[in-house]
Amino acid sequence: MTPEMAQSQIIIERPKSIDHGDLSSNIALVMAKALKKSPREVAQDIVEQIPPTESFSKIEIAGAGFLNFYFSPKTHNEIINHALEKHTDYGRNNRGGHEKIQIEFVSANPTGPLHVGHGRGAAIGDCLARLFEFSGWDVTREFYYNDAGAQIDNLTTSIKSRCMNISPEDPAFPADGYRGEYIQDIANAYLQKSTIQSNSGTVLSAADIADDDAIKNYGVHYLRKEQDQDLAAFKIHFDVYSLESSFYEAGKIEDVITILKNKGYTYEKDGALWLKTTSFGDDKDRVMQKSDGAFTYFVPDIAYHLNKWERGFKRVINEQGADHHSTVNRVKAGLQGLDKGIPADWPEYVLHQMITVMKNGQEVKISKRAGSYVTLRDLIDEVGCDATRYFLVARRADSQLVFDIDLAKSQNSDNPVYYIQYAYARIQRVLIQWGGDFNSLRSIEEYRYETLIEKKLIKKIEEFPEIIETATKELAPHQIANFLKECAADLHGYYNDTKFLVDNNNEKNGRLSLIYATQHIIKNGLNLLGISAPDSM
């Protein structure tokens, strides 16, 4: 290839329409200028030079000189049989090479029940973890509890006030207190000396209203248990739980401050300690330690991420709400200032946007401070785990999301998760009616897939591994959700127009093999989203 050709990019891609072939290339258009020929002439020369192959049935010249390649019946059969052979592993790859990756997500403050924003973070983060595992990475799922600081103090005073029968409407109730009814539940449990048993251990209530530390400890553990239960109902698990308080107790916050001071990246002004974040591209320097001695919120995050690096995670992804945007540069600046060899683009961030919850055509208001926000548990109880997970992950993380409860509860083709699961169940019903050995199904060249809808399904099967790679690389699990929706539409079209249990054995075997392979990619895709694949609906 000449340098002139290299300046243009030769592309091999899948046309959007199956009518334009299975693969398409612009190679003739790229080479035309250097060869001083028209693109169509170059395309014709290329076609004449391509030796006969069993992979393609034909190669067409289209438009200004695009080359469209059409798979042969042999290739169609190979695609289907490969999916059947791999079964639950179809689409799996080893791009990660078993390297360690840590994905932190949810990381809610233990100050209240999980809200729908936490739910979106949980769905996206867990799907990312599943994608990376499917792509050969050694994944650690991690939850970071901000169990220290002003918000925890506010939780403590809120519970204490309720223990003293001070209601949120009372002027004596803390101005920054938490006003939800869950605070009263915690206060009642504390006064009744109820025992909390959770993954974090057993906590006994002292029932002493004067003991702020006891109230704080009890309240935090009460809410951690509640959050754990909500996450379990959402089919989310974590390998590691990290506590902000542990970094204070171990002196890790002070260690970070000391290092940054010694490196010359801090200075004092107006009684506060500042970090020179402008040295690392920030628009202005940031306060690390306020005049009252309290650390600002991003300082413990620096210590926490240093801990991640020291644990050997060369790749880290943080899934957080968009309100954490301002933290990103400050944490990265602090990490760079430590001079520990941490790359400037470490860690990576996926920030999700806000959610609007709709029901009966009206917005359901979210107000955490007032205690009237929509919780994750509300959605799970209302529409189920599967629908909640799908709707929370079905759009790009950086786009705002409208969660329509009525749509999520509907059982028709308008509801994408129902539509996808129904496609899987329809295939299962046909296979059960057939009554043969599923493992014996194999596509053979004697049956040729001639119809447009059959070729569309084969194209979906062939695309699936690449969709996995792309969604993983781009940190975009919504691509799996959209792919499954398209695949289900093709399957329903095929199901409605086709008789599967015919007398001709070749036809029957060919059609059953195709839908069985399609079922594999639907199930594998649903599993990557953490959604069930029911055999009947």
Residue 224 lies inside a defined structural domain of this protein: yes
CA-angle at 49, arms to 48 and 51, nearest 5°: 100
Same domain, yes or no: 88 and 66: no
| Average pLDDT of the residues in 161-172 | 96
- The total domain count for the chain is 3
Compute how many other C-beta atoms are within 10 angstroms of the C-beta atom of residue 191: 14
Say if 373 falls within a structural domain: no
Is 100 contained in some domain? no
**491 shares a domain with 444:** yes
28 and 88 inside one domain = no
Q: Domain check: are 156 and 60 in the same one?
A: no
CB distance 521 to 464 below 8 Å = yes
Residue range 340-353, pLDDT digits in tens? 999 999 999 999 99
**Cα-based torsion angle of the residue sequence 295, 301, 303, 305 in order, rounded to the nearest 10 degrees:** -170
Which residues lie closer than 8 Å to 287 by C-beta, 6 or more apart?
A: 272, 273, 274, 275, 296
CA dist 497 and 454 (Å) reads 11
How high does pLDDT run on average in the chain? Answer: 93
Of 447, 455, 480, 448, nearest to 22 by C-alpha is: 455
Any idea of the CA torsion for 129, 133, 139, 144, to the nearest 10 degrees?
10
Among 49-63, 249-263, 405-419, the minimum mean pLDDT is found in 49-63
Note whether 52 and 81 are same-domain residues: no
Q: What are the pLDDT digits (tens) for 121-138? A: 999 999 999 999 999 999
Q: Could you tell me if 7 and 90 lie in one domain?
A: no
CB 253 within 8 A of CB 273: no
| CATH code, domain with 508 | 1.10.730.10
Report percent pLDDT > 90 for the chain.
81
Q: Which residue has the tokens 């695009």?
A: 66
Bridge partners for 273 per DSSP: 268, 289
Q: Is the pLDDT score of 409 beyond 80? A: yes
Q: Are strands 12-13 and 100-104 parallel, antiparallel or unpaired?
A: unpaired
Record the pTM.
0.92
- Of 44-58, 222-236, 249-263, 479-493, which gets the smallest average pLDDT? 44-58
pLDDT in tens, 390-402: 999 999 999 999 9
- Indicate if 10 and 65 belong to the same structural domain: yes
Q: Which domain holds residue 158?
A: 150-233
The pLDDT, as a whole number, for residue 366 is 59
